[in-house]
Amino acid sequence: EAQVTQNPRYLITVTGKKLTVTCSQNMNHEYMSWYRQDPGLGLRQIYYSMNVEVTDKGDVPEGYKVSRKEKRNFPLILESPSPNQTSLYFCASSFDGYEQYFGPGTRLTVT
Amino acid sequence: DAKTTQPNSMESNEEEPVHLPCNHSTISGTDYIHWYRQLPSQGPEYVIHGLTSNVNNRMASLAIAEDRKSSTLILHRATLRDAAVYYCILRLFQGAQKLVFGQGTRLTINP
């Protein structure tokens, strides 16, 4: 089954403790993205990648890092999480940019 | 980025057609019109996209005004499973990965 998977689905952590949210797709898509969704602000793009080793900032990249060492994986790294990064995070992938497939989401709480 | 304007909410009845409007008066010639929807507790899901001509797929139809300043997503026969937030998004042809989500329209389907 074609899908985008994210882990963990739920995470509660403390300020400053580094964490990684993994994203993997099994569709051989070149394009992958990370979004965060906050009430009243909608979905905002954090980072995107157009291919292996090619990443670029989206609209809200501050406080986040990404890497794309393999085509299927696009982890999101929070080196020093803060409470304002409490949010619902979605990973997405696409073959050509027209139809993006979204993962189920990761709900992160930073206390 | 060009912006879209959608009604905050709409309501319809099961098995009736639903027309979801979107205004995008600042659209440029290379902006594609995308529609995604987000069911409760899920990631966004691609619905349809178009550039100038009307488009049909198994999920919906997209009617684009001749001047491209507005479009309408048509669900031909709504079911309870179509209750979701529907997002109308403009995407630059060159900006393959960037989707800028607005607030969307929350569609309620009455049985």
Which residue on chain A is closest to B99 by alpha carbon? A45
pLDDT value at position A99?
Answer: 87
Give CA torsion, residues A47, A49, A50, A52, to 10 deg: 170
Q: How far is A14 from chain B (nearest CA, A)?
A: 24
Residue range B18-37, pLDDT digits in tens: 999 999 998 888 889 999 99
A39 — contact with chain B (CB < 8 Å)? Answer: no
Question: DSSP assignment of chain B, as one string?
Answer: ----B--SEEEEETTS-EEEEEE-TT--TTEEEEEEEE-TTS--EEEEEESSS-EE-SS-EEEE-TTSSEEEEEESS--GGG-EEEEEEEEESS-TT-------EEEEEE-
Residue range B56-99, pLDDT digits in tens: 999 999 999 999 999 999 999 999 999 999 999 988 765 556 77
Residue range B33-56, pLDDT digits in tens: 999 999 988 999 999 999 999 999
B102 — contact with chain A (CB < 8 Å)? Answer: yes
Contact list in A for residue B91 (CB cut-off 8 A) is 97
Per-residue pLDDT of chain A (111 residues; tens, 9 = 90+): 889 999 999 999 999 999 999 999 999 999 999 999 998 888 899 999 989 999 999 889 999 999 999 999 999 999 999 999 999 999 999 987 778 999 999 999 999
Query: What number of C-beta contacts closer than 8 Å exist between A and B?
Result: 55
B53 — contact with chain A (CB < 8 Å)? Answer: no
Question: DSSP assignment of A10-61, as one string?
Answer: EEEE-TT--EEEEEEESS--SEEEEEEEETTTEEEEEEEEEETTEEEE-S--
pLDDT value at position B87?
Answer: 95
Which tokens belong to B91? 């995407």
Confidence of residue B2 (pLDDT cuts 50, 70, 90): low
CB B79, CB B15: distance < 8 Å: yes
Confidence of residue B103 (pLDDT cuts 50, 70, 90): confident
